Amino acid sequence: MAIETALKPASPGHRRTRHQNRNSVRKAGGRLWIKIAVTFLLVIEVYPLIWMFLTSLKSNSDYLNNSTWSLPTTWEWGNYTEAWTTGNIGLYVQNSLLAVVPALALILLLGTAAGFALQIMVWKGRSLTLLVFLAGMMVPPQMILLPLFTVYFQAGLSGTLWPLILTYTGTGLPLTVFMMATYYRTVPRELFEAATLDGAGILRAFWTISVPMVRNALLTVGLVQFFFIWNDLLIALTFTNSQDLRTIQVGLLNFTGDFGATQYGPLFAAICINVFGTLVIYLFLNQKVMKGLTSGAVKG
Amino acid sequence: MHRVLGDRRAIMILLGPALLVYTLIMLVPTVWSLGYSFTKGNSIDGFTGNGLANFTRLFSDQAVHDALWFTVKYAVLVTVGQVIAGYLLALLYVFFLKKASALIRTLVFFPVVLPTVAVGLLFQKFFQVAPQTGPVNSLLNSFGLESIDFFGSAGSAFWVLVSMDIWRSMGFYAVLLFAGLVDIPDEVLESARLDGASGLRLIRHIVLPLSLPVLMSSLIFSINGTLKVFDSVVALTNGGPGTGTTPLTLYMFQTSFTYSEYGYGSTIALLLTVVCLLVSLAVYRVSRRDITEG
């Protein structure tokens, strides 16, 4: 190359075309490479879910005897009713909702109020209190299970969904308080001073002025906590000691042992039911979910 | 001026309930669990003092050594895998797909919100040999290779677990790191390009150093989560074959609830907490030094 240029002093124009040529060759090669990468990505992300859905519609003999790639020979939608009723998935979903909804309401209510008290209200020791809440994010849940188990047992709460609701609320609070306090940072304090001058109490101002102002944040934090609680296995596994109390995750885990051990179609249907719940939420609110989950990570 | 905002009664009403629930559910049990470490027994049979016996047992227990090693091995591999895969995806989004990346970003993020139990069972079936040859083994067969019993040995089960958790969470780190890459000012990239940096050199000398802070916070976040791995293991292998894929969390759970040894279970939980704290502290200090020096 060096000799070449020394021998014939190429015109600048000539050199540029050659350079451009090489660049465009590399670019085309690059584009192909990227297409392959994206295709591969799509296949590994989407195919397992499609496969799962197709398998959920197969009959047992179809599943056992035909290739794993094949479409269902008959579309067995009955697998879903089978999973829902005989496999008890309906009951498990109901239990999950009964535990998640109250816990979520408590987390949001208490967390927002605490976030307000820690960020808008002015008092000594509030940054220390926030740190105390933050410390809770460092503690692995394994650390609190055994004492809680003892307390719930002695209080006669085992056999109800209360242990789940209370534990979810307690473990959900640190992140919620922290995120809400961060959101309140964008709300000017003067607003509340002005409001209270007009005669409204600060508690009223919290509820009627501040809560509507952070309702977007409430949705974001609510979604984050919903996925944490809905997908939780450890706490649910610890505190659900009877089959009637199982949440969807515990139920699905035991499904393989109880009934799904030989009923493959219903087993896949049960997995699908579990996945579709989150899929529906994700379809409508994916941008909020992505923003919420990642902002929780950055701040945590 | 701040009189209204310093109203003690209002502060108590707003903060009180959250602080109370948090204290009762998180703080008191944590200290209580520390106390359990010096006892033996369970909540049904009662507890008796046990001195330091749990701790001497902890240090000589081969199962604890294995579980700790498994936890560390898993956490390091998955953390590195998640963050590298996430970073590559983020680079793909920012520099190659550009505006078209929103759909792919959303799609690759989806497994993050999937229930781990569902994903675990799905992967179990996806990699299975019997009763049906799963897709992965079918693929191997179509290349003329023998089926592999992935869950028959701890080694291969471990790799399925690692791939599953990277699959599950790379979209999350991609979005996290994507946000960091988008924050790099265009002028910086443009002037580097004018200076002749392109492709890999641009990434290595300009983009990588600038995204180091967000890479570090991803690492801290990831290692904190992976050290506590539980759901994925329980759903995929349940610790097996044998105890070949048992992390500390699962060993703690089995000790406590299968064998009803609450005292020893608490001691293992304490070990887990200490490991988490030490590792976060170490990563945090290293990252601080890197950022200030780099």
B132 close contact with A: CB closer than 8 A: yes
Contact of B175 with chain A, judged by CB distance below 8 Å, is answered with: yes
**Range among A192-196, A202-206, B83-87, B125-129 with highest mean pLDDT value:** B83-87
Series of mean pLDDT values for 10-residue runs along chain B (294 residues): 76 94 94 90 81 90 94 95 94 83 89 93 90 89 90 93 94 91 85 80 84 86 91 91 92 92 93 91 75 50
User: B22 CB near a chain A CB, below 8 Å?
Assistant: yes
d(Cα B85, Cα B171) in Å, to the nearest integer? 9
Question: A162 CB near a chain B CB, below 8 Å?
Answer: no
At A28 the pLDDT is 56
* Whether B17 and A120 lie within 8 Å, measured CB to CB: no
Q: Pick from A113, A99, A120, A101: which is nearest to A176 by CA?
A: A113
- Which pLDDT belongs to residue B131? 82
**d(Cα B17, Cα B9) in Å, to the nearest integer?**
13
**Boundaries of every domain in chain B:** 61-293
Q: What is the pLDDT of residue A300?
A: 44
Confidence bin at A76 (pLDDT 50/70/90): confident
pTM (two decimals): 0.89
Q: DSSP letter string over chain A?
A: -HHHHHHS---HHHHHHHHHHHHHHHHHHHHHHHHHHHHHHHHHHHHHHHHHHHHTT--HHHHHHS-TTSPPSS--THHHHHHHHTT-HHHHHHHHHHHHHHHHHHHHHHHHHHHHHHHTS--TTHHHHHHHHHHTTTS-THHHHHHHHHHHHHTT-BTBSHHHHHHHHHHHHHHHHHHHHHHHTTS-THHHHHHHHTT--HHHHIIIIIHHHTHHHHHHHHHHHHHHHHT--HHHHHH--SGGG--HHHHHHHHHHHTTTT-HHHHHHHHHHHHHHHHHHHHHHHHHHHHHHHHHHHH-
Q: Which residue from B279, B212, B266 is spatially nearest to B55, judged by alpha carbons?
A: B266
pLDDT in tens, B200-237: 788 888 888 888 888 888 888 899 889 999 999 999 99
In this predicted structure, what is the pLDDT of residue A12? 42
The confidence score (pLDDT) of residue A13 equals 42
Q: Would you state the pLDDT for residue B119?
A: 95
φ/ψ bin of A103: left (φ > 0), alpha (ψ from -120 to 50), beta (otherwise): alpha
Q: Considering only CB atoms, which chain B residues are within 8 Å of A154?
A: 43
Taking residues A81-104, what's their average pLDDT?
92
Residue pairs between chains A and B whose CB atoms are closer than 8 Å:
266
Interface test with A, best of B125, B136, B251, B254 (most A CBs within 10 A): B125
Residue with tokens 């641009």: B202
Residues of B in contact with A121 (CB under 8 A): 5-7, 10-11, 14
Best mutation target, A42, A116, A272, A290, to test chain B (most B CBs within 10 A): A290
Supply the pLDDT for residue B41: 83
For chain A, what are the domain ranges? 88-299
User: In 3-state terms, what secondary structure has residue B48?
Assistant: strand
Per the CB < 8 A criterion, the answer to whether B113 and A282 are in contact is: yes
**Band of residue A259 on the pLDDT scale cut at 50, 70, 90:** low
Structure tokens at B292: 């200030």
The residue with greater pLDDT, B244 or A256, is B244
**What pLDDT does residue B25 have?**
94
Asked if A140 lies within 8 A of B92 by C-beta distance, the reply is no
Q: How far apart are CA A186 and CA B13, in angstroms?
A: 23
Q: Say if residues B41 and A230 touch (Cβ distance below 8 Å).
A: no
Burial of A128 (0-12, 13-18, 19+ CB in 10 A): exposed
Write down the mean pLDDT value for chain A.
Answer: 84
B273 to A238: CB separation less than 8 angstroms, yes or no: no
pLDDT digits (tens, 9 = 90+) for A121-146: 888 888 999 999 988 888 889 999 99
Structure ipTM over 0.85, yes or no: yes
User: Under DSSP, is residue B49 helix (H, G, I), strand (E, B) or coil?
Assistant: strand
- Under an 8 A CB cutoff, do A231 and B4 touch? no
CATH number for the region B61-293 comes to 1.10.3720.10
Residue B153 is classified by DSSP as S
Is the domain defined by A88-299 classed in CATH 1.25.40.10? no
| Average pLDDT of span A229-243 | 91
The pLDDT of residue A8 is 39
Give residue A15's pLDDT band: very low, low, confident or very high (50, 70, 90): very low
Contacts of B234 in chain A (CB under 8 A): 233, 237, 253
